[in-house]
Amino acid sequence: MSVIIEAENLMKTYNDTIAVSHIRFSVKKGEIFGFLGPNGAGKTTTMRMIECVSPRTSGMLRVFGMDPEKNPAEIKQRIGVVPQETNLDPDFTCSGNLLTYARYFDIPPAEAEKRVGDLLAFVALTEKRDVSIDKLSGGMKRRLILARALINNPDLLILDEPTIGLDPQARHLIWERLRLLRAQGNTIVLTTHYLDEAARLCDRLVIMDHGTFLVEGTPADLVRDQVGSEIIEMDNTPEVIACLADLGVTYEILGDEVQVATDASRELAKTLLDRCKKSRVSTRPATLEDVFLKLTGRTLRE
């Protein structure tokens, strides 16, 4: 399987601030690769270096085997970008936005018209073809931005928070389209704050914080290796804490709740019910969110 993106010892600084610190990763053709992390972790900075927008400070970065600083035009011809912000042109309709963008890639008018029709159908906006941008819902705008990113038939699609602010129906429609693109052989790199989105879409992902990678792997492997298969939840009372301490069980206090990560929830839950009287004991599957919070902490980031 060929490598689409390769980075080694990649670093980006702004004056005295280190935004990305000596990271190493590769993205293979046909996979969805995710970058997760709190605000300020370095995700968007990494995306901007891949997009040939922000030059690296040091280290090696190759996209399609080319250096983004030496071959930006060649790389940009082969990538599509869905930015975090909604930056459609309000002076044009849906089709007008796509046709205008097609000119940047020197796509002949007849071919551009065909691609616009196909892409509007792909993102379920055919009926909105001649509607102005200010008449679209938030979900429609995000779908149109995805269509715009695909106008040049990119080999690599880069998405920064692709479903931010969308309702569940709109999110699921975009997920379906991204999975279809992957099935067609497209390579996708994304950042997201929605942990369920990363778990559903990503073949592999990294969790980063303060500009460095904390872990890398498949969503399932990260959950299993970092927190186990299940979480037991109990009320945070002095009696429960004393009971867990007496049993030698490792736990984490989260406000009015106590959580215990385990691979044997049935047996442990039965023991806790028997020994920790008068306490609620419930179990649930461990998730990527548990991994994220364990590694990056629970303090609010602005």
Residues 220 and 205: their CA atoms lie apart, in Å, by 11
Q: Is the pLDDT of residue 200 over 90?
A: yes
pLDDT band of residue 215 (cuts 50, 70, 90) is very high
Asked whether residue 298 is assigned to any structural domain, the reply reads no
242 and 109 within one domain: no
Per-residue model confidence as pLDDT tens digits over 104-163 = 999 999 999 999 999 999 999 999 999 999 999 999 999 999 999 999 999 999 999 999
Does residue 299 sit within a domain? Answer: no
Residues 255 and 209 in one domain: no
Q: For residue 21, what pLDDT is reported? A: 95
Mean pLDDT, the chain, whole residue set = 91
Kindly report the CATH number assigned to the domain that includes residue 248: 3.30.70.790
- Could you tell me if 205 and 264 lie in one domain? no
**CATH number of the structural domain spanning residue 107:** 3.40.50.300
Say what the pTM is.
Answer: 0.90
Residue 264 lies in a domain: yes
* pLDDT of 252: 86
In a shared domain, residues 280 and 163: no
β 257-262/230-235 pair status: antiparallel
Q: Are 249 and 185 part of one and the same domain? A: no
With helix as H, strand as E and coil as C, how does the chain read?
A: CCEEEEEEEEEEEECCEEEEEEEEEEEECCCEEEEECCCCCCHHHHHHHHCCCCCCCEEEEEECCECCCCCHHHHHCCEEEECCCCCCCCCCEHHHHHHHHHHCCCCCHHHHHHHHHHHHHHCCCHHHCCCEHHHCCHHHHHHHHHHHHCCCCCCEEEEECCCCCCCHHHHHHHHHHHHHHHHCCCEEEEECCCHHHHHHHCCEEEEEECCEEEEEECHHHHHHHHCCCEEEEEECCHHHHHHHHHHCCCCEEECCEEEEEECCHHHHHHHHHHHCCCCCEEEEECCHHHHHHHHHCCCCCC
Does residue 291 belong to any structural domain of this protein? no
Domain span including residue 247: 229-285
Q: Are residues 120 and 142 in the same domain?
A: yes
- Number of domains within the chain: 2
pLDDT of 301: 54
For residue 19, tell me if it sits in a domain: yes
Same domain? For 137 and 264 the reply is no
Last residue of a domain, one of 170, 202, 220: 220
- The reply to whether 74 and 160 lie within a common domain is yes
Among candidates 191, 188, 140, 196, which has minimal Cα distance to 166? 140
pLDDT by residue (tens digit) across 252-292?
888 888 888 888 777 888 888 888 877 788 888 999 999 99
Residue range 183-197: mean pLDDT, rounded: 93
Binned at pLDDT 50, 70 and 90, residue 298 comes out as low
Same domain, 129 and 182: yes
Same domain, 41 and 97: yes
Maximum mean pLDDT: which of 1-5, 135-139, 201-205, 289-293: 201-205
Residue 179 covered by a domain:
yes
Split at pLDDT 50, 70, 90, the class of 11 is very high
Q: Return the pLDDT at 46.
A: 95
The proportion of the chain whose per-residue pLDDT surpasses 70, expressed as a percent, equals 98
Residue 237 is assigned to a structural domain of this protein? yes
Residue 97, pLDDT > 80, answer yes
- Same-domain status, 275 and 182: no
Q: Does the residue 65 lie in any domain?
A: yes
Q: Do residues 168 and 281 both lie within one domain?
A: no
CA distance 289 to 198: 10
CB-based contact 239:246 (threshold 8 Å):
no
